[in-house]
Amino acid sequence: MSQPIRSALVSVYYKDRLEPLIALLQEHGVTMYSTGGTQQFIEEQGAPVTAVESLTGFPAVFGGRVKTLHPKVFGGILHRRHEAADLREAEQHQIPPIDLVIVDLYPFEETVASGAPEADVIEKIDIGGISLLRAAAKNFRDVLVVSSRDQYAAVTALLQAKGCATDLEDRRHYAAAAFEATSHYDTQIHRYFAESIKNEVGTIKNSTNQENTNNQQSTINNQPATSLRYGENPHQAGTFYGDLNALFDQLHGKQLSYNNLVDVDAAVLLMQEFDAAGPAACAILKHTNACGVAQADTLQQAYLNAFSCDPVSAFGGVIIVNKPVDAATAEELNKLFFEVLIAPEFAPDALLVLQSKKNRILLRQKPVQLPTKQIKTLLNGVIEQDFDRVVEGAANFRTVTESAPTAEEIAALEFALKVCKHTKSNTIVLARAGQLLASGVGQTSRVDALRQAIEKARSFGFDLQGAVMASDAFFPFPDCVEIAGEVGIRAVVQPGGSIKDQDSINACNRLGMAMVLTGVRHFKH
C-alpha cells in the first residue's frame, strides 16, 4: 500500500549526511518537526521546520532528558490511520500525524569506548530517541522509520523513486532494521551495566541470551555472577556463577580467568585426595591434568618432586598444596612462572616472596565443603552426576596374580590411583610411592596413554624399573601389561571387568608382575 509522507520528525545526534534527505523532504513540502540541535541544523539548510516544543506546547526539560516524550509526538506516530476511533481521538486532541521518523541515537557505545566517567555514559543513554524508533517501527503500517545514518542515502533514493511515498514492504523492512538497532543499543547498555556490577549478585534471568540459557536456569539461577575477561578464548564471552569468596581469599594477583577457574577446580578436587593431616603434598596442573604430583616430609621437597616430574609443563601451571606455604617452599616456587597457587595458608615471609610477581594469583583456600553434584551443559540441557568420591586403598585391592605387591608397591599403587582418578581418560599413570613419574592423558587408546607416559618419564630422566602403573579403566587386551613389563613396571592397579582380564593377569604372571583389581572404574571425560 503506497503511502505518501506528509510530515516527519527528525531528531539526530550526528547531523552529517542528512542534507540530501532534508532537501528532498523540503522539495515535497513535507512538514518537519525537530528537536533543538537538529532544528537549528535544518534551519541552516534553509528548510522550514517546526520546533517539537511548538507541537507539544512543552519545553525540553531536565537538560534534554525529556524533549519528545509527549502524547502529541507519540500519538502522532502511533495512531492507526485505518481506525476511525484513533482518527477521531487524534482530531479531538489535536494530534497531527507523523509519517516519517528519523533518529540517530545518542552515541552510547562510543562514549563507553572513550572511557568516559559513568555520569557521562549515563547521560548518553537515549530514552526519547529509542522510544521514537520503537513507536515508529511498531506502527510500520503507517509510518516509515529511519534508524541509522547509514540508511539516509538509500531512503533518499527510495523516496526520490517513489515520489516521497513508500510501500508497506519498504516500511516493514525499515521497521525490522529499527528493532535491530534498538536491540543492539540495549544490549550494549546491558553489557555496560553487567561489567560495572562485576562481583555483585546477578542471575541468568538478566542475560540477553535467554534462548540458549533457559534450560540452565535451575542450575545457575541465584548464583552470584562474575563477568570474566573472556571465556576459554578471547572471542568467547565468559561469566562465572558461584561464590569464590566463600572458597578462597585472594591474597594477590589479577582476576582469575575462565581457564584459571577450570584448572583451580581440577586442582582442588585432586588435592582432596591428600589428607591435610598427612604428609606434605603438592600438585601442578595444566589444562586440568596433573603434570606433577608428589608427597614428601616437607612441602619444599613435595614441590621439588612434583616439579621434577615435568618441569616443561609446569611453566604457567596451577599449583596446589595441602600445607601452609613456608619461606623455603616460597623461594623454590618463586623460580617458576606459574598462574595460580592455592594453599591453606601462607606464612608472612612466604607471602612477601611470592608477591614479587604482579600477576601471580595467590589463593588461600578455606575449609569448606564443595557441592556434591557435578553439572555440565550438554546439547540443549544439562547433565548432572555425583562427584567421583570413591577412594580406594589397600583394603579394596584384590590381588589376582601369583605374586602380591610389596608394601612399598601398595603405597605407590594407592598414590597412582589418586592421580589417575583426576586425569582425563584414557589415562595411564606411572608412579613410585609419593611421586608421579608420568601420565598419559586423554588418549583415545590405553596403549597410546601408556606409550605417552613411558616416553615422558624417560624424557625427564626417570628410570621406570620398580615403578607401578594405574589405569582408569580395565585392560581389554594384555598389550599394556606386556609393554609395562618390558620397561620394568612391577605392579599394576586397574578396576578389572574385561572379559579378557585373565589375559592381562597371565601376562603379569609371565613377567613376574603383581596386579590388583579395585572393581571401580574412574573414567573422566
Ligand X SMILES: NC(=O)c1ncn([C@@H]2O[C@H](COP(=O)(O)O)[C@@H](O)[C@H]2O)c1NC=O
Stated as kind and residue range, the H or E segment containing 524 is none
Q: Which of 24, 116, 127, 375 binds ligand X (CB under 6 A)?
A: 127
Distances (CA, A) of 497 to 124, 171, 480, 484: 67, 69, 15, 20
For the bound state, the minimum distance from the C-beta of residue 4 to ligand X, rounded and expressed in Å, comes to 25
Task: Choose the binding region for ligand X from 122-130, 140-148, 172-180, 194-202 (rule: CB under 6 A).
Answer: 122-130
Query: Cβ of 229: how many Cβ atoms within 10 Å?
Result: 12
DSSP string for residues in 486-515: HTT--EEEE----TTHHHHHHHHHHHT-EE
* CB nearer ligand X, residue 58 or residue 230: 58
Taking CB under 6 A as the rule, does residue 425 contact ligand X?
Answer: no
* CB nearer ligand X, residue 104 or residue 472: 104
Distances (CA, A) of 270 to 189, 289, 339, 393: 41, 9, 17, 16
Q: Which of 23, 24, 51, 69 binds ligand X (CB under 6 A)?
A: 69
Angle value at C-alpha 490, between 484 and 493, nearest 5 degrees: 80
* CB nearer ligand X, residue 69 or residue 382: 69
| Residue closest to 81 by CA, chosen among 173, 155, 163, 144 | 144
Task: Choose the binding region for ligand X from 9-17, 79-87, 291-299, 331-339 (rule: CB under 6 A).
Answer: 9-17
Q: How many residues bind ligand X (CB under 6 A)?
A: 21
* CB nearer ligand X, residue 67 or residue 79: 67
Stated as kind and residue range, the H or E segment containing 300 is helix 299-309
Taking CB under 6 A as the rule, does residue 68 contact ligand X?
Answer: yes
287 is catalytic: yes
Q: Are strands 31-34 and 144-146 parallel, antiparallel or unpaired?
A: unpaired
Task: Quote the cell numbers at residue 59.
Answer: 519545553
* CB nearer ligand X, residue 139 or residue 313: 139
Task: Choose the binding region for ligand X from 61-69, 88-96, 233-241, 263-271 (rule: CB under 6 A).
Answer: 61-69
Phi, psi of 146 (to 5 degrees): -115, 115
Please name the amino acid found at residue 342: I
CA–CA distance, 283 with 290 (Å, rounded to integer): 7
Q: Which of 30, 31, 67, 343 binds ligand X (CB under 6 A)?
A: 67
Q: Which of 65, 88, 93, 205 binds ligand X (CB under 6 A)?
A: 65
Return all residues near 70 (Cβ < 8 A) that are at least 6 apart.
52, 55, 56, 58
Q: Which of 5, 9, 12, 102 binds ligand X (CB under 6 A)?
A: 12
Q: Which of 106, 303, 415, 475 binds ligand X (CB under 6 A)?
A: 106
Catalytic, out of 138, 162, 173, 357: 138
Q: Which of 76, 128, 478, 495 binds ligand X (CB under 6 A)?
A: 128
Interaction pattern, residues 13-52, with ligand X; x per rule: CB under 6 A: x---------------------xxxx--------------
138 is catalytic: yes
429 neighbors 420 (Cβ within 8 angstroms): yes
For the bound state, the minimum distance from the C-beta of residue 207 to ligand X, rounded and expressed in Å, comes to 26
CA–CA distance, 96 with 163 (Å, rounded to integer): 22
* CB nearer ligand X, residue 33 or residue 475: 33
CA dihedral 63, 67, 71, 76 (to 10 degrees): -170
Distances (CA, A) of 42 to 76, 155, 251, 471: 21, 18, 59, 79
Q: Which of 129, 440, 478, 485 binds ligand X (CB under 6 A)?
A: 129
For the bound state, the minimum distance from the C-beta of residue 185 to ligand X, rounded and expressed in Å, comes to 10
Q: Which of 25, 103, 419, 469 binds ligand X (CB under 6 A)?
A: 103
User: Judging by beta carbons within 10 Å of its beta carbon (0-12, 13-18, 19+), is residue 16 exposed, middle or buried?
Assistant: exposed
475 neighbors 522 (Cβ within 8 angstroms): no
Q: Which of 23, 24, 66, 382 binds ligand X (CB under 6 A)?
A: 66
Taking CB under 6 A as the rule, does residue 197 contact ligand X?
Answer: no
For the bound state, the minimum distance from the C-beta of residue 41 to ligand X, rounded and expressed in Å, comes to 8
* CB nearer ligand X, residue 104 or residue 273: 104
Task: Choose the binding region for ligand X from 75-83, 126-134, 141-149, 276-284 (rule: CB under 6 A).
Answer: 126-134
Return the exposure string of 365-399: e unless at least 16 CB atoms fall within 10 Å of the residue's CB, then b. beeeeeeeeeeeeeeeeeeeeeeeeeebeeebbee
Catalytic, out of 28, 173, 287, 357: 287
Q: Which of 20, 64, 242, 466 binds ligand X (CB under 6 A)?
A: 64
DSSP string for residues in 88-109: HHHHHTT-----EEEEE---HH
Binding site for ligand X (CB under 6 A): 11-13, 35-38, 64-69, 103-106, 126-129
Which residue numbers are catalytic? 138, 287
